[in-house]
Every structure is written in C-alpha cells, then in structure tokens.
Amino acid sequence: MLNPFFLQGSSGEQGLIQDLINEHLRMFGVEIHYLPRKYITEKTIIKEVIESSFDNAYPLEAYVANYEGYAENTDVLTKFGITVSDELTLIVSAERFDLYIRNLIKDQDNIKSSVRPNEGDLIFFPLGDKLFEVKFVEREKPFYQLGKNYVYELRCELFEYQDEDIDTGIEIVDNVIKDQGYIATLILAGIGSTATAVTSYVTGGVQKITLINDGQGYTSAPRVAISPPISGTTATATAIMTARSGLTKAYSIDKVLITNPGYGYTEVPQIYFIGGGGIGAKAVVGIATSSASTGIVTITNGGSKYTTSPSVTFSSPSNVSYAVTATGVAVVSAAGTISEIRLTNSGIGYTISPIITISNPSSVGTGTYTYNETVIGSATSTTAIVREWNATTGKLEVSIIDGSFVIGETLTGLGSSAIYTISAVNTDNLVDPYAQNDLFETEGDSITDFSERNPFGEV
C-alpha cells in the first residue's frame, strides 16, 4: 500500500526529491566541466562528422557512480601499441542542466540539441585530468519516481583526440589536448642582420669551371681535385649534385663552384672527379692570365636569420677594356648565417680588390602568436592551428595542417597578426608516447626498397 501522506506526483513532492538530489550531488560529487560539441561540417549522406569544435566549458557538479574503467585490465597492449580504455559513469542533476547549461547553449549555432546532454559531448574530469566523451545518456533511471526523472546518467569513455578544435579559454581544460595529435614544429626567423665579406685580387687564378659531361651513377658528391700551379696556391672547388630523371638514388653533377681560385697558374690545370660512386664526369678549367681576377672570399660577418640564399654581387672591374664581373652564390648554414661564398666566375680585369655586397635577410618578425589561432603561409596558403609559441627560440608548434609549409615563406597569425619567416619545417612529430610509426617505417625500409619503380617486382 502506498504512503497515504504522499500524493505520488505533486509538484511539491517532485521539488523535494530534486532538492535532495541536488544537495547530495553538491556534498558527495566532484566538479566537472561540461563541453557541448559544435558540429561545424558533416557529410550529407550518413552525417559523418568532418569538423567539430568545443569552445565553451561549463562547471557542473556530478556524482561518480561507476569508476570501474580505472581498474585493472583497461590498458591493453597490442602489436600496434597500448590502448587505454578508461570508462566513467557520472550522475548529473536534470534541473541543474536545464536551468543552467541549457539556457546558456540554446541559442548557440551548430549545437544539435540543448534540451539534454548529448552523446559526443565532452566531460573534463579533474581527478584524472582527462577528457571523457559521452557515449550514452540514460534519461529514465530511476524510472519516473513520483512521476518525474531527476537525473541524467552519463556513460563516458576516454576521449580520443582526432583534430577537434578545443579552445574553451580554461587552461586546465585546453591543456589536456595541447600536445596530442599530429603536431609539426616550425622554426621561425625574426629580423636578422646582413652578412659581410671581403676578397682580394690575384693573377693566374681559376676564372671558371665548365662542365662538359655531368657523369652518371653518383650516390654522393665526388671530390674535385685541381692540379697545382708551378708556383702559387692550388685552386679548390666543390661539385653540386642533381638527381637524374626518374631515379631517386642516382645523381649526376649539376655544376662545379670555385671555393678558392688559387693563383700563379700559367697553364690550364687538370681537373678530376674522385669518388662518389659514379663515372663519366668531365670539366674544363679556365684561368685568368691576361688580367687579375677575384681571389678567395672571406666571410667577415655571417649575419643572421637567413632562410634562403641571398644575392651576392661584386663590383665591376676597373679595366673596362677587358673586364668580366665576378659572380658567386652564398651558402646558408643551419643556424641561418652565411658560412661561405662560392664563385661561379672569378672575373677578369680587377686592379683593386672588388667590393662584395650581400643582400639583407628576407625574414620579418613581429608579434606574438596565440594559442589555437589559425596561421597561414604567404606562398602556399597552407593553414594550421597554433599549439605553442616560444618567442625566445622561435619555435612554433602547430596542428591540423591543411597543405605543406615551405622554407622562406612568411607565416601570419589571423588573430594576432604576428608574422615571421619560416626557416625550418619538421613534420615528423606525432606526439604519442606509444606510437611506433618510425620503427615500423625503418624496419619496412630494410625489407623493401621503395625507391624502385615497383618494389614488389616487375611484371
């Protein structure tokens, strides 16, 4: 027989039960953050979510009804790595959700429904500092006590990040996925200094080296040997390689650059290509005997922040009746400085030391990138999302990359307007403590030669 002092469903009785539940949750629960999912892009056929975001997090008290997912046997070791399958069941107040969260999200765009918690929404659980995804919402348990339901039961699983945009403005929440997913590292250059160099003029130096046969089958650059003069300094040069068409591991010589013209040559020297695994390369040497040419170039200041090779110009010879202006190319080091200037032609007709002018670094640098803003490359229009920016080291970590960045292009933050020049790109940076992709690739390369046109055999 039912209790005759209860009406079994009056608004007062329902309110009493709801108040008791709310108070129980505040006393024995934990404060979570509820993150409603915004569906930005979906496929039209099966409604597969292509792009979603989480830009709000609402604190809410919840009771931990089941934490069995934190027990043993939830971390599974497989041949592909470790799978973490933590699960969590939470109880939240229906009234608190309706009066608080529902009113805050009901007018926001791209939210499926605001009348209840939705599958796909996220829960930040502070005790484990983790994000859980709501997989199922039980709305009828307990089943209509006094004619009404008072709680939602949220059955959650550990959230697996898949390039969702999470920017709630709450640091403890956003930091959970800050270093998850595919993250590329860009080294950016700010405003640099211009390099300087000096040279002299010499008689009987090597003026130019002309390649008459680029050779074949080289796997590395051969050493260039030039015979010495009868009296003077031996010239030196270096070979610049290029890949032969259709082959990725066979190279030929593209050009030969002079690193030291030497001096004292009265007869044309011999030139030899030694090593490198290839054959057939031949070149001829031209010397400046009728007039002086440029001597060895010495870097007096390597400058800074160079991302691409700058232009190098030499002043014109004073002997205008028989003059060829020297030309050269600069070598940029990994540190962004000019480490060497190699001559393509040492010129003829110099009676005084030529003046060398090196162009300014093309880099720019200003502003501060902000977390989760979009950046875009000037040359490729590649976009990405900022994860972390270190102004001191110039290191920018980005994710959700659409395209491929290239060295030398400027990178602009669409929110902050910060702009810097890219000097290095590292895309091999999947942040996952259990990922073994590099190991698999290395072992695979040792088994199969993917440089072949058909690594599995010709038909």
For residue range 301-345, list pLDDT tens digits in order.
999 888 889 999 999 998 777 789 999 999 999 888 999 999 999
Mean pLDDT of 343-367: 92
Q: Which two tokens stand for residue 235?
A: 């010239």
Whether this model's pTM surpasses 0.85:
no
Neighbours of 90 (CB within 10 A): 27
Residue 371, amino acid: Y
Non-local CB neighbours of 171 within 8 Å, separated by 6+ positions = none
* pLDDT > 90? residue 255: yes
Which pLDDT value is given to residue 44?
Answer: 72
In tens, the pLDDT along 424-448 reads 888 765 445 445 556 666 676 666 6
Distance CA 1, CA 416 (A): 69
Confidence of residue 244 (pLDDT cuts 50, 70, 90): low
Mean pLDDT for 59-69 is 83
